[in-house]
Structure 1
Amino acid sequence: MAFFDIAKYVLAGVITAVAMSCAPAGAAEKFNLSPDTSNRVRAERDEAAVKAIASGFKFVNPGKFTVAINPWDPPITTYATDAKTVVGADPDIAQLIADSLGLKLELVPVAWEDWPLGVSSGKYDAVISNVTVTEERKLKFDFSTYRRDVLGFYVKADSKITEIKEPKDVAGLKVITGAGTNQEKIILEWDRQNVAAGLKPIEVQYFDDRAAADLALQSGRADVEFNPNATQAYKAAINGTRKLVGTVSGGWPITAEIAVTTKKGAGLADALTLALNDLIKSGKYGEVLKHWSLNAEAVDQSKTNPAGLPKSGS
């Protein structure tokens, strides 16, 4: 998970504004990074979810759902063009949950490394910021899942590659990925399996600069990029120069899920899970993911504390 210093936070709105100005017609409307959030999908109060809140639970601020969030990258979470307002898929999901609980949403931007102590100490009711469920985190936190942790295979829009589902599909290809990441571990393991099966090896490429990676893909120096789906989906929707041809769980071969994270035993998780499932049924949840081009990460059902990624070394 990337995080930024204060100077980069301030620049975020400027950078996204420049990106949107270069986007094709219609993209700016689809990804409205304006500080005006009046167009957010909203939900009605969910009485069943409200009743599911444990009797002893007290919200940090009465009448408000106080949520820690790390504005790191669109479409998940970023700053609007005013460099202050937080926008993206996670803020929209947070708004739906707040509505369901009959509360006003209060988003608190935080650095990634600060949310665990903030939630544990009761400074925030929850964190909604692309947090993956892990067995280690489950020792201290409760989880209500709302997205799949997905890595995506993206190719040039006019590429002849139409589907990547398993290791043999990338044999002999030039694949861009991130060094020291889960996706690198996966693609190297796929390469090991291919070579062991007598297939052509993968040529793995690394780029520190996103623009350089884009250029390599568009020029044909690389065949495919394998990195987090969300940011690539956003890029594909904005510039139309790439397409999705396959996804893999971020915890491959184990399924990894993203969840609303609350203090262990606080008594809020079951209510959040119920609210999310009602939002899935109503279609409000799907509207948010569709708006931010994250359909590939949708879950059919929210779960409380499902199996998470294993602890390191286990």
Structure 2
Amino acid sequence: MKQGLWALLLVSTLSGAQGIDLKANETPLHGQRDEAAIARIPPNFAFVEPGTLTVAISALNSPPLALLASDNRTRIGSDPDIARLLADSLGLKLKLVPTAWEDWPLGISAGRYDVAMVNIAVTEQRKEKYDFATYRVDSLAFSVKSTSPIEAVHGPEDLSGRKVIVGSGTNQEKILLGWNTENERAGRKPALPVYLTDDASGNLYIQSGRADVFFGPQSVASYKAALTGKTKVVGLGPKKAYVATTTKKGNGLVEALKAALDGAIARGEYQKVLARWGEAGEAVTTSQINPPGITY
């Protein structure tokens, strides 16, 4: 992508980030009880806690998706907001469970929570074990220190020999390893994956030069670049992904979640959430159940 388009992306994101009022966003947005969605809950469905929708969200501070409020205790962000809309629509209380990325698959399988919302993208492999109801479209992005000589990442050759931060088991790791294979076949040095789970550590690695590139969700990368000016987005991943609520395969809850999301979209509640977190450009017009996932 041309450098001018990167500038356009950053200007657009800067406007969104500057328009985010974190203090105002600590006030919860509630949704309307939706009888049609409630009717889609399977008969005798066993919630983790009766009368409560238990939702796993990111334990990391990764705005605008999830972060701590000013009380350093309450979780806010677009994912908690959408989780609240779902609970309200289904006539349930909401319980948020801060969860590490590595823990959500076992947590869903073991029944520790009803839904996982940890910026989980739909993939064909994940669809074998989980059901998905989409609620956002997201890209992956490459970001670097603002003073880095790296101006653009278009493909494997641009990461040859670079130290790249990724999360273990993520789509970005799969892309990076695939690009490493291409680099090796072409006689180029592969990138060196740097596995981190803490966003603060990632920031430290980038600013100290211990890593060259951060590869993660575009919404998070652009938010940080616009808010602090210490990083810049220099490329997007090769594929866009549907981000979705994630539930145990075959338990039937996905139908109710889709209905709740569609109702929130129709009433404009969903759009208010994305708008106040600067994610309006990632909205879906309807939720899809188990759409075609990313393949590698």
Instruction: State TM-score, norm by structure 1.
Output: 0.66
> Deviation of residue 304 (structure 1)?
0.7
Partner residue, 2:284: 299
Partner residue, 2:122: 133
Tell me, what secondary structure is at the counterpart of 1:257? Answer: strand
Distance in 2, matches of 1:99 and 1:227, equals 31
Distance in 1, matches of 2:248 and 2:172, equals 29
Matched AA of 2:277:
W
- Indicate if the aligned counterparts of 1:233 and 1:293 stay in contact, CA closer than 8 A: no
Partner residue, 2:47: 59
1:236 and 2:225 correspond? yes
Partner residue, 1:44: 32
Structure 2 residue corresponding to 1:284, chosen from 258, 262, 269: 269
Per-residue deviation, residues 3-30 of structure 1 (Å, max 9, x unmatched) = xxxxxxxxxxxxxxxxxxxxx9x97983
Per-residue deviation, residues 219-261 of structure 1 (Å, max 9, x unmatched) = xxx9x97642122222134236777687445xx3xx4222111
1:210 and 2:203 correspond? yes
Evaluate the alpha carbon distance shift between residue 83 and residue 233 of structure 1 in structure 2; reply closer, same or farther with a 3 A threshold. same
Instruction: State TM-score, norm by structure 2.
Output: 0.69
Matched AA of 1:142:
D
1:102 and 2:95 correspond? no
| Higher mean C-alpha displacement, 85-94 vs 113-122 | 113-122
Distance in 2, matches of 1:29 and 1:180, equals 29
> Deviation of residue 192 (structure 1)?
11
Tell me, what secondary structure is at the counterpart of 1:30? Answer: coil
Partner residue, 1:86: 75
> Deviation of residue 63 (structure 1)?
1.9
Per-residue deviation, residues 39-78 of structure 1 (Å, max 9, x unmatched) = 1222111121111122232322222111122322321123
Evaluate the alpha carbon distance shift between residue 155 and residue 61 of structure 1 in structure 2; reply closer, same or farther with a 3 A threshold. closer
Evaluate the alpha carbon distance shift between residue 55 and residue 294 of structure 1 in structure 2; reply closer, same or farther with a 3 A threshold. same
1:266 and 2:251 correspond? yes
Distance in 2, matches of 1:137 and 1:187, equals 19
Structure 2 gap segments, 5+ residues each: 1-13, 183-187, 195-200
Distance in 2, matches of 1:59 and 1:301, equals 25
Per-residue deviation, residues 77-110 of structure 1 (Å, max 9, x unmatched) = 2333433222211111101111111111111223
| Higher mean C-alpha displacement, 184-193 vs 261-270 | 184-193
Partner residue, 1:113: 102
Matched AA of 1:178:
I
Tell me, what secondary structure is at the counterpart of 1:178? Answer: strand
Aligned sequence identity (%): 44
Matched AA of 2:203:
R
Distance in 1, matches of 2:173 and 2:254, equals 33
- Indicate if the aligned counterparts of 2:41 and 2:253 stay in contact, CA closer than 8 A: yes
More strand, by proportion: 2
Partner residue, 1:21: none
Pairs aligned (count): 273
Higher RCO, 1 vs 2 (CA within 8 Å, ≥6 residues apart):
2
Distance in 1, matches of 2:56 and 2:89, equals 18
Distance in 2, matches of 1:65 and 1:77, equals 18
Evaluate the alpha carbon distance shift between residue 246 and residue 62 of structure 1 in structure 2; reply closer, same or farther with a 3 A threshold. same
Per-residue deviation, residues 177-205 of structure 1 (Å, max 9, x unmatched) = 53688558758988999xxxxxxx9xx89
Evaluate the alpha carbon distance shift between residue 300 and residue 248 of structure 1 in structure 2; reply closer, same or farther with a 3 A threshold. farther
Partner residue, 1:178: 165
Structure 2 residue corresponding to 1:71, chosen from 59, 75, 87: 59
> Deviation of residue 263 (structure 1)?
1.4
| Higher mean C-alpha displacement, 68-77 vs 270-279 | 68-77
Evaluate the alpha carbon distance shift between residue 114 and residue 209 of structure 1 in structure 2; reply closer, same or farther with a 3 A threshold. closer
